[in-house]
Amino acid sequence: MGVIPMKHAYTKKDRDKAVILAIVRRFGPISRVAIQSMTQYRPSTVSEYVRELIEEGLVYESGRSDNPLGRKRILLRVNEAHSFLVAMEFDAETIRAAVLDLQPKVVTMLTRPVDLEGGVDGVLDQLVSAAHQVIHDSGKDPARLRSIAFADPGLVDRRRGVSVMCALLDFWQCVPLRQRFEAEFAVPFLLEGNTRAKGVAERALGAGGMADDMVYVDYSTGIGAAVFSEGRMVRGHNESAGELGHTRVAENGPACKCGSFGCLEAIAGVQALGTRLRRAVEEGSSSKAIALAGGLEKVTGWTVLEAARQGDKLSSSLVENVGNHLGLGIANLVNLFNPALVVLGKNLAAAGPDLLQQIERIVRRQALPSATEKLEFRYGTLGDEAALLGAGLLVLDEMFAIPALKPPRFMVESEANLVVNE
């Protein structure tokens, strides 16, 4: 079924209306006069197409301009409540689903623990159930659903809508997500990796400030990177660019779930961090993290980050080790892609500003001076909603894309027949 509702326009009018709608989304609130100036369409054409877009409910008049001189212009905006999206993500612990408007903004969001015992079919059933539930909770008319956007924890084949594999979930391989969701909801489906979705959201709505050259580092159940170069996301030949967590940083390091040894994720990931503290306590050390978690068996890497922020010595030592390895991995990214900005996922901010400063020092020490000149480092500002918003943004970019003008099929077929007959 695909995501873009109209990749090609078969008439010039349809294409011109799509251009106007895209301009209103990108630059609104905007006047008809400004649209005419940008498009060079005739004023009568702009007026006619804007009227039709208003009648269709896609655009509305939002007031008048506040210019001090001259006539006050009526301003136009995209009607963000015209329809809605469902955005979803999951990992080894949690399912998140949200209803988004066309801004996108979260209207309703739910979080559920994921049960992995049922394998692929069991997880798919839980995901579909969560999508139905969040639509119900939002009070929205299901007929207004435009698309479903999904942020997957593993490697994905976006074109086929298939989750290829996930190092954290060994059974999650070749999962036909698009097929299942489009059959269930009868709307277009977009699939993206969750790290890239978070990177898109941070760049457009968070700490990224729409930087053209940016690296986003995702520290969650895994470690990944979303790389933007000259405003475009770097994907790679098989969509596997940015697998920072599976770069090797130790010669004789621990085994990683990907099947290799010494990977950054196995040494410095959040699960490794929690395991190291529990092991240290079992060997006689003490830590504030135990009280924070409510027992040693409940300690996670997130507990260790929070305990480090509160000054716990053992946690601080372990987090410093994580920072050293992350700094080395990010230094390699800086040398390879020369970003102007490095954004670390908001999860890491739990450790406080010292970790960010430590990583910055290591990167500046290890990367080339020319690559670190004017390089900025920031924590992300978006929390649990980041991947949902990023997936939603990707859907909206395609929904509002300006279609290519394509002749009607009968004209193409007629021309082909003429060639054959000649």
Tell me if 412 is assigned to some domain. Answer: no
Measured CA to CA in angstroms, residue 170 lies from 41, 92, 134 at distances of: 55, 11, 28
The pLDDT value recorded for residue 409 is 60
Between CA 138 and CA 188 the distance in angstroms is 20
331 backbone dihedrals φ, ψ, rounded to 5°: -60, -40
pLDDT band at residue 100 under the 50/70/90 scheme: very high
Q: How far is CA 384 from CA 135, 242, 253, 417, in A?
A: 19, 21, 31, 56
Place of tokens 């277009």: 188
pLDDT tens-digit map of 218-239: 998 788 999 999 999 998 887 7
Determine the average pLDDT of the residues in 363-383.
95
- The predicted pLDDT at position 408 comes to 57
> Three-class SS of residue 65?
coil
404 domain residue, yes or no: no
pLDDT of 422 higher than 80 = no
Report which residue type is found at 129. S
Is 415 domain-assigned? no
Single-letter code of the amino acid located at 48: E
Residue 6 has pLDDT above 70, yes or no: no
Asked if residue 127 lies in contact with residue 88, where contact means CB atoms within 8 angstroms, the answer is yes
In a shared domain, residues 143 and 238: no
- Give 68's pLDDT tier (boundaries 50, 70, 90): confident
**Residue 283 falls within a domain, yes or no?**
yes
Q: Are 35 and 147 in a shared domain?
A: no
Q: Are residues 157 and 69 in the same domain?
A: no
Whether 94 and 125 share a structural domain: yes
Residue 256 lies in a domain: yes
Instruction: Work out whether the CA dihedral 202, 203, 204, 207 comes out positive or negative.
Output: positive
Rounded to whole angstroms, the Cα distance separating 55 from 36 reads 20
Residue 366 shares a structural domain with residue 392? no
pLDDT in tens, 267-309: 888 889 999 999 999 999 999 999 999 999 999 999 999 999 9
Domain boundary among 79, 102, 132: 79
| Pair (167, 302) in one structural domain | no
Looking from the CA of 48 toward its CB, the CA atoms found within 13 Å total: 8
Exposure string over 144-183, b if 16+ CB within 10 A, otherwise e: ebbbbbbbbbbbbebeebbbbbbbbbeebeebebbebbbe
Does a structural domain hold residue 406?
no
Amino acid, res. 86: V
Same domain flag for 94 and 34: no
Let me know whether 12 and 114 are in one domain: no
Residues 184 and 235 in one domain: no
- Pairing type for strands 162-165 and 223-229 reads unpaired
Residue 30 sits in a domain whose CATH number is: 1.10.10.10
Q: Does residue 409 sit within a domain?
A: no
Domain limits at 97?
A: 84-198+386-399
pLDDT at position 123 over 70: yes
Based on the domain organization, do 270 and 366 belong to the same domain?
yes
Task: State the pLDDT confidence band at 258, using cuts at 50, 70 and 90.
Answer: confident
Q: Are 140 and 237 found together in one domain? A: no
pTM of the model: 0.86
DSSP string, 151-185: EESSEEETTTTEEEE-TT-TT--SB-HHHHHHHHH
Which of 201-205, 241-245, 396-400 is least confident?
241-245
Q: Looking at the 3D structure of the chain, how many domains does it have?
A: 3
Q: What is the CATH number of the domain that holds 136?
A: 3.30.420.40
Q: How confident is the model at residue 198 (pLDDT cuts 50, 70, 90)?
A: very high
Is 80 exceeded by the pLDDT of residue 336? yes
Residue 223 domain-assigned (yes or no): yes
Give the pLDDT of residue 280.
Answer: 95
Position 93 confidence tier, pLDDT thresholds 50, 70, 90: confident
3-state secondary structure of 351: helix
Q: What local confidence, expressed as pLDDT, does residue 91 receive? A: 87
The pair of three-digit structure tokens given for residue 255, joined into one six-digit string: 């085994």
Q: Are residues 286 and 361 in the same domain?
A: yes
Output the pLDDT for position 189.
96
Decide if pLDDT at 421 tops 60: no
